[in-house]
Amino acid sequence: MKHSFKHITYIIIILAGYLGYSQEENSGFTQNSSINLTSAASTNIQSHGTSGYFYNPKRAIDGTEYLFDEWENKAVVYTKDNYKYSLKNINLNIKRNLFLTRLSKDSIFTFNMNGIDKIVVNNKVYKNIYSEKGRTICEVLFESDKFSILKSFYLHTVEGSPNPMINRVNDKIIRKNTFYVLKGESLIKFRFTKRKVLTLIDSDRIDAIREYVKLKNLSFRKEKDVKQILDYNTSL
């Protein structure tokens, strides 16, 4: 097994050199295939078959298409067949909707999410979500048998301009997020307001929730407070 893994890695590295890419942020080169989590956990490398593309931006770009600024993030990967693996080098590429682990400065390898139940990164839960809108990786803020509250990530690009009065020569990538309620396969945009949150509460519990919010000095507009409110509702 170890000899086979090294052989695959050697082939991939040769192929990468042949294609002549520099950094994954500039070239957009990725490797994809079935996951070998045991090897990934022990070496923080994922072996895959190859596919790739290149992206050459028209101008320099400020910002990043990755969710985390740094790659050194502690993660636990939970598979659908009840195994779990620890990693210390992981990131989410928002544009490609993929989790990746870095092999070297110039090489990154992707996770096949089909066999994964969830990935916990820095104590936050991320799942592959399927809805009528398609597949996306979301942070799960709250989950119950009735509904889930999700945070979805996307990128907004502000174009640069040669106009010195604008003072923005480079394009700029801005990371943004949207909240959703998932019921079955229906994904509905959600805003943190008192009225919206209370629609998720059974009518016979609303008075108790209002008293709890007042007692704990919570806000219906804050992400962490809403999670606490919904957790309390579940405990009633």
pLDDT averaged over the chain? 79
pLDDT of residue 39: 61
Banded pLDDT at 167 (limits 50, 70, 90):
low
Residue type, 183: K
The tokens 């078959």 sit on which residue? 49
Burial of 71 (0-12, 13-18, 19+ CB in 10 A): middle
Q: How far apart are CA 51 and CA 99, in angstroms?
A: 16
pLDDT of residue 152: 96
Task: For residue 47, name the pLDDT band (cuts at 50, 70, 90).
Answer: very low
pLDDT higher at 25 or 80? 80
Question: How much of the chain, in percent, has pLDDT values that exceed 90?
Answer: 53
- Distance between terminal CA atoms of the chain? 51
Give dist(CA 169, CA 186) in Å, integer.
41
Taken as a whole, the chain contains a residue count of 236
**Residue 164: predicted pLDDT:** 66
Q: Environment class of residue 176 by beta-carbon count within 10 Å: exposed (0-12), middle (13-18) or buried (19+)?
A: exposed
Q: What pLDDT does residue 58 have?
A: 63
Per-residue pLDDT at 7 exceeds 50: no
Residue-wise pLDDT for 121-153, tens only, equals 999 999 999 888 888 999 999 999 999 999 999
Give all strands of the β-sheet with 91-93 in edge-to-edge order. 91-93, 98-104, 107-110
Residue 189 pairs with which residues in a beta bridge? 180
Q: How confident is the model at residue 112 (pLDDT cuts 50, 70, 90)?
A: confident
For residues 52-81, average pLDDT = 80
CA distance 132 to 14: 41
Q: Is 138 in contact with 172 (CB distance < 8 Å)?
A: no
Q: Report pLDDT digits (tens) over 86-111.
A: 989 999 999 999 999 887 777 777 88
The DSSP call for residue 187 is E
Per-residue pLDDT at 36: 57
Higher per-residue confidence, 163 vs 97: 97
Please give the pLDDT value at position 101: 87
Q: Please tell me the predicted confidence (pLDDT) of residue 22.
A: 33
Q: What is the mean pLDDT of residues 18-27?
A: 36
Lowest mean pLDDT among 34-48, 148-162, 179-193: 34-48
pLDDT for residue 155: 94
Compute CA distances 231 → 134, 201, 208, whole Å.
28, 11, 13
User: Per residue in 179-216, pLDDT tens?
Assistant: 999 998 899 999 999 999 999 999 999 999 999 999 99
**68 or 4, higher pLDDT:** 68
What is the share, in percent, of the chain residues with pLDDT greater than 70?
A: 71
